[in-house]
């Protein structure tokens, strides 16, 4: 079996079949980046349509499609995979693991996500994209003509399954694969937040699965779940969607919180202030996140008691969130703070996110929400938390971990330019939207009338969007330049604190030649203070077991993709064929024995070996 390791692999085949979490991480990052650019272009087109009152740029129909696809793409196809990309690339390294618990499942998760993402976007080429909003509320979605919403329903379903199994993989990895000494309360905060996010994924995504399945039944098989005229009840869909949807916003933002915690501590050259409070606050946010979904439905008419209970629960979330904000501030307090791009994004996040949190608390007051609901005020709120929180986090994480993932350092000058243009553009776009909302501009409407004092703020918002677009182009330029001739990074370019910085950049296939022994929080920092050049090994040097790569995840995803696409066009023969391919792949996975192979200790580079 071991000859396997030295066979020269065809690179395309290698990427299709890889089960290495670091490569899967890169795949997630690449496809997430692609969809991020796509969603960004959609956003710019939306903003151009809203540049002037009664402007005719894309028109109402295309506007609805762009709006739906922008939201869906950014949440499900950009933010989620980018987060999974960082989790894959970094979490196993941070806990001193050689691998994830389920390498095969991990790769299947990625390919399902990709198949779903492609399916979702096919609507553009096949007679119209989904147009019922990223929330897909019935009966708008069940009665929307054409096939657009079918692409939404089935594309999200497939990518959602991928996300779910990815979440299970990280839960088990973090519980079972930690290196000796890496107790739960020594785990870096990014690992902690990935852990809690994975738990949220596990318990939130099945509700979406059901919501989408029922939508599909109503659309494709004539069931009556949401058809009020036949006794159905569209409010049920809203419940299902938000039981998933609110936890989803924390699924997105908690990993970003984790990144900020690492980055702020590293560049303050101080241990994170209030580590255990941070862990507790993260867990509490995750828990409360399941108790507040009705705040998206205050105006539905569930009654004052339901509204009040959910209002109080919603306000409660601001408490652990506030704890985190203060802990970040106190981490910087008295530290030797430096501001490379990663830290600029981290520090820029704090005031931006606080604004979003404040409007959140305003929205959580039901009588006031009757005014704000479905207005631009809500659009301002969630962009402040999602862009100011999640996107800033992803950018910060990118500048911070790029060296570890790719072995080169992103250009700092271009990085800072990226930050400032994006930061200014972001506030220029979304700050005026608060006032647009308060003045009564409804969200999701393709135009507005002049003479209602909406012109200036809309104009400013579009200019801000252009600035963010420019910033993104600079970022892409930076990435291209760095990939072509980037400066080589050392193992530990930022003088980091956590385990991933103790190994080479990029990390070798097997991560750690010898599993490290963890002797405290900020394990690598401790060893450096103690004068050690490497982590102390927890085991003697030995052969390293590696998992077998496999093409089955691609085949299985292809099968489901084919089945879904055929079902949309009622081609049941082909649909069954697709399902059969998926089933066959599963059967093959079950009956073939995958024993993996070994990398022999004699073949490990001397440099990778730790304390002999």
Binding site for another protein (CB under 8 A): 101-102, 105, 164, 168-169, 171-172, 175-177, 202-207, 209-211, 213-214, 217-218, 221-225, 227, 230-233, 236, 239-240, 243, 587, 590-591, 593
309 burial class (0-12, 13-18, 19+ CB within 10 angstroms)? Answer: middle
Four-point Cα dihedral 475, 476, 480, 486, nearest 10: 10
**What is the token pair recorded at 298?**
């205050």
Closer residue to ligand HEM (CB): 372 or 406: 372
Alpha-carbon gap, residue 110 to 116, rounded angstroms: 10
Instruction: By CB under 5 A, name the binding residues for Cu ion.
Output: 246
Interior CA angle at 523 toward 518 and 525, to 5°? 150
Of the ranges 29-37, 100-108, 361-369, 527-535, which one interacts with ligand HEM (CB under 6 A)? Answer: 361-369
Residue 332 interacts, among Cu ion, another protein, ligand HEM, none and using kind-specific CB cut-offs from 5 to 8 Å, with none
Q: Is 318 in the site for ligand HEM (CB under 6 A)?
A: yes
Instruction: Using CB under 6 A, pick the residue from 31, 68, 88, 135 that binds ligand HEM.
Output: 135
**What is the token pair recorded at 384?**
């402040």
Closer residue to Cu ion (CB): 22 or 246: 246
Site string for ligand HEM, 263-302 (x = CB under 6 A): --------------------------------xx------
597 burial class (0-12, 13-18, 19+ CB within 10 angstroms)? Answer: middle
Closer residue to ligand HEM (CB): 67 or 398: 67
Q: Is 364 in the site for ligand HEM (CB under 6 A)?
A: yes
Instruction: Using CB under 6 A, pick the residue from 253, 474, 552, 560 that binds ligand HEM.
Output: 253
Burial profile 261-296: b = 16 or more Cβ within 10 angstroms, e = fewer: bbbbbbbbebebbbbeebbebbbbbbebbbbbbbbb
H or E segment and range at residue 408: strand 408-409
Four-point Cα dihedral 248, 346, 285, 116, nearest 10: 10
**What is the token pair recorded at 548?**
């077998």
- Residue 580: strand, helix, or coil: helix
- Residue 598: strand, helix, or coil: strand
Closer residue to Cu ion (CB): 52 or 382: 382
Of the ranges 99-107, 370-378, 432-440, 567-575, which one interacts with ligand HEM (CB under 6 A)? Answer: 370-378
Closer residue to ligand HEM (CB): 30 or 361: 361
Judged by CB under 6 A, the number of residues near ligand HEM is: 25
Quick one: which of 360, 364, 418 has its CA closest to 384?
360
Closer residue to ligand HEM (CB): 126 or 291: 291
**Binding to ligand HEM, residues 376-405 (CB under 6 A):** 378, 381-382, 385-386, 389-390
Q: Is 199 in the site for ligand HEM (CB under 6 A)?
A: no
How many Cβ atoms sit within 10 Å of the Cβ of residue 493? 18
Residue ranges that bind ligand HEM, judged by CB under 6 A: 135, 249, 252-253, 295-296, 314, 317-318, 321, 357, 360-361, 363-364, 369, 372-373, 378, 381-382, 385-386, 389-390
């Amino acid at each position: 079996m071991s000859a396997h390791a030295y066979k020269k692999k065809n690179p395309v085949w290698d990427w299709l079949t890889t089960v290495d979490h670091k490569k899967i991480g890169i795949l997630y990052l690449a496809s997430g980046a692609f969809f991020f650019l796509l969603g960004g272009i959609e956003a710019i087109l939306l903003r151009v349509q809203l540049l002037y009152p009664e402007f005719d740029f894309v028109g109402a129909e295309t506007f609805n499609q762009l709006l739906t696809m922008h939201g869906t793409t950014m949440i499900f196809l950009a933010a989620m995979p980018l987060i999974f990309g960082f989790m894959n690339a970094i979490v196993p390294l941070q806990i001193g693991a050689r691998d994830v618990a389920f390498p095969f499942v991990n790769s299947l998760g990625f390919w399902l996500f990709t198949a779903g993402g492609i399916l979702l976007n096919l609507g553009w080429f096949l007679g119209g994209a989904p147009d019922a909003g990223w929330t897909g509320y019935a009966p708008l979605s069940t009665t929307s003509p054409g096939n657009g919403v079918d692409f939404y329903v089935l594309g999200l379903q497939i990518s959602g399954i991928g996300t779910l199994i990815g979440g299970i993989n990280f839960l088990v990895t973090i519980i079972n694969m930690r290196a000796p000494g890496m107790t739960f309360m020594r785990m870096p905060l990014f690992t902690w937040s990935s852990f809690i996010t994975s738990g949220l994924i596990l318990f939130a995504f099945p509700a979406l699965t059901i919501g989408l399945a029922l939508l599909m039944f109503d659309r494709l098989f004539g069931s009556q779940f949401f058809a009020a005229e036949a006794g159905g009840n569209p409010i049920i869909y809203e419940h299902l969607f938000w039981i998933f949807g609110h936890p989803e916003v924390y699924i997105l933002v908690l990993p970003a919180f984790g990144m900020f915690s690492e980055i702020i501590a590293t560049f303050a050259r101080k241990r994170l202030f209030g580590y255990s409070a941070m862990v507790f606050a993260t867990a509490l946010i995750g828990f409360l996140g399941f108790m507040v979904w009705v705040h998206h439905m205050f105006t539905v008419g569930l009654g004052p008691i339901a509204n009040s209970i959910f209002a109080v629960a919603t306000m409660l979330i601001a408490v652990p969130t506030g704890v985190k904000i203060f802990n970040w501030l106190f981490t910087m307090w008295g530290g030797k703070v430096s501001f490379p791009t990663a830290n600029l994004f981290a520090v820029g996040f704090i005031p931006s996110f606080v604004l979003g949190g404040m409007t959140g608390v305003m929205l959580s007051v039901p009588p006031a929400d009757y005014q704000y609901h479905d207005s631009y005020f809500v659009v301002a709120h969630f962009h402040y938390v999602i862009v100011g929180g999640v996107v800033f986090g992803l950018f910060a994480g990118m500048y911070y971990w790029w060296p570890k993932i790719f072995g080169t350092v992103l250009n700092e000058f271009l990085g800072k330019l990226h930050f400032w243009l994006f930061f200014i553009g972001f506030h220029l776009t979304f700050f005026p939207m608060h006032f647009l909302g308060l003045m009564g501009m409804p969200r999701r409407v393709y135009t507005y009338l002049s003479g209602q004092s909406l012109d200036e703020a809309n104009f400013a918002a579009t200019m801000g969007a252009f600035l963010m677009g420019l910033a993104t182009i600079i970022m892409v330029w930076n990435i291209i330049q760095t990939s072509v001739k980037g400066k080589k990074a050392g193992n530990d370019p930022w003088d980091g604190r956590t385990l991933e910085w103790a190994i080479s950049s990029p990390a070798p296939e097997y991560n750690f030649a010898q599993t490290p022994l963890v002797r405290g929080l900020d394990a690598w920092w401790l060893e450096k203070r103690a004068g050690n050049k490497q982590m102390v090994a927890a085991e003697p040097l030995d052969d390293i077991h590696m998992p077998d790569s496999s093409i089955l995840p691609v085949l299985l995803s292809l099968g489901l993709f084919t089945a879904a696409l055929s079902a949309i066009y009622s081609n049941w023969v082909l649909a069954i064929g697709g399902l059969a391919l998926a089933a066959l792949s599963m059967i093959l996975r079950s009956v073939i024995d995958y024993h993996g192979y070994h990398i022999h200790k004699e073949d490990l580079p001397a440099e990778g070996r730790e304390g002999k």
